[in-house]
Amino acid sequence: MLVLLLTVPLVWLVASLAAVWLAKREVDELFDTQMALYGRQLLAIDVHEALPDDTPKLKHLLNGADAGRTDSGDLGLAVWDQQGKRLLCDGRGRRFDYQPLRRGFYDEAGKDSRHGWRMFYLTAPDGSRLVAVGQKQGLRQEMVWSVVKAQLLPWMIGLPLMMLAILLALRRELAPLRRLAGAIAERQPDDNSPVRAEVPQEVQPLLRSLNALFGRIGQMLEHERRFTADAAHELRTPLAALRVQAEVLELMPDDGGRSHALAQLRLGIDRAGRLVEQLLALSRLDPLPGPQSSAPLDWQRLAERLLAELSTTAEQVEWKLDWRCAPQAVLPLRGDEALAGLMLRNLLENACRYGPADGVVELRLEEDAISVLDQGPGIPPQWLERVRERFFRPPGQHQAGSGLGLSIVERVAALHGLRLMLRNRPEGGLEARLERAE
């Protein structure tokens, strides 16, 4: 509204100035043409002797007839012979000076702009006579302002009415937006239902985007609620087991029983700690739009370090590293090394945990994929897609786990433009393959 209130008068002012300039240009062209015509007509009059200077004024010559809107004091003319003798004059012409060297139009200043004169001098072809026609500048100014006022007066009256109409129209059209803003301000923080409001057609894309945003926020909050509930449920189980093991440890009378209970207590602590680590990793990964850093990945150093670390915890497992390409050509070429290590560690730990104790875990690094192959029982076909869900574990699992490892792998892969493919191998075991997402 403020922009319109400032812009409309400014445009009107510029248009008015342009109208004044154009009107002055047209008036000057009209009067200059008339003055030049008067000069040519005076040269056509055969004047050889001086006429009397006391020519009666126009009103006396008309003798009461309609004189129109004339003012003889604003015009003047004079004719001189070759010696400078005035032959003819009328109006203010008797005050004109003989200027034999002048030709064409001249502006003579007066005490102000209105009292200045516009002069036109014209000489006969044989030089026998000099004609001067003069006109007051004030006459031209009055004509300009008369034309401009005739054009602008309706606008000066209509401009306030137009501004008022604009204000009323804007207030009427913006009223739905004010109602929409009030409805949004009154919504509860957990209310993610679509906003229903009658808004102008131009604002409907904004309302649709706003409702889509509320929908995404609702899905995120629902996801967070499920995540929190699942995490609380999963944490309750190991904590209860730890409490039981601690009570058993207190009741054991012999050293052998206490040692067994202590070992079970350590396993429960490890499981709880692993679950907390996975939960923290997911909480950090979920809000990320992309990798926190992007640098060339040193897959050789990363793979060798991970295999060396896991070899100490699974001594009976045979670890194989199969390079199918140069280390610097492994997909992805760039990314966050910490996240890539977390993704690869989860795949290797799953292969070790669910494979036989003396089995072989193979890591293949290729230009278009990274694969981890194990010799375990694989995953029943009906659970191949669901194992990606958080906290889901197929029935009949006896190995300790939180059900979050593959969720973390899939999230890190998505951040790096990859996707996780799971398939049971014909010869037995599972292949977890990371390849470029289409």
Token pair 């690869």: residue: 344
Segment (H or E) for 437 = none
Q: How far apart are CA 55 and CA 90, in angstroms?
A: 7
Going by their DSSP bridges, the two strands 86-91 and 75-81 should be labelled as antiparallel
- Picking from 88, 61, 62, 64, the residue whose alpha carbon sits closest to that of residue 76 is 88
What confidence score (pLDDT) does residue 198 get? 79
Binned at pLDDT 50, 70 and 90, residue 251 comes out as: confident
User: Quick one: CATH architecture of 292-436?
Assistant: 2-Layer Sandwich (3.30)
Binned at pLDDT 50, 70 and 90, residue 90 comes out as: confident
pLDDT digit string, tens, across residues 2-58: 887 788 888 888 888 888 888 889 989 999 999 999 899 888 887 666 556 556 666
State phi, psi for 66 to the nearest 5 degrees. Answer: -65, 115
Structural domain boundaries of the chain?
2-55+72-148, 201-284, 292-436
State phi, psi for 276 to the nearest 5 degrees. Answer: -65, -40
Helix segments in 81-203, DSSP class H: 137-185
What confidence score (pLDDT) does residue 431 get? 93
142-171 average pLDDT score: 82
Q: Which fold has domain 201-284?
A: Helix Hairpins (1.10.287)
Q: Where are the beta strands (DSSP E) in 36-103?
A: 75-81, 86-91
428 contacts: CB under 8 Å, gap ≥ 6 = 375, 376, 377, 378
Chain mean pLDDT for the chain: 82
379-387 average pLDDT score: 87
| pLDDT at residue 391 greater than cutoff 80 | no
Q: Which amino acid is at 145?
A: W
- Picking from 296, 335, 344, the residue whose alpha carbon sits closest to that of residue 415 is 335
Question: Rounded to a whole number, what is the largest CA-CA distance in the chain?
Answer: 157
What confidence score (pLDDT) does residue 68 get? 62
What confidence score (pLDDT) does residue 97 get? 87
Burial grade of 408 (CB within 10 A; 0-12, 13-18, 19 or more): buried
Q: How far apart are CA 42 and CA 77, in angstroms?
A: 9
Strand partners, 108: 117
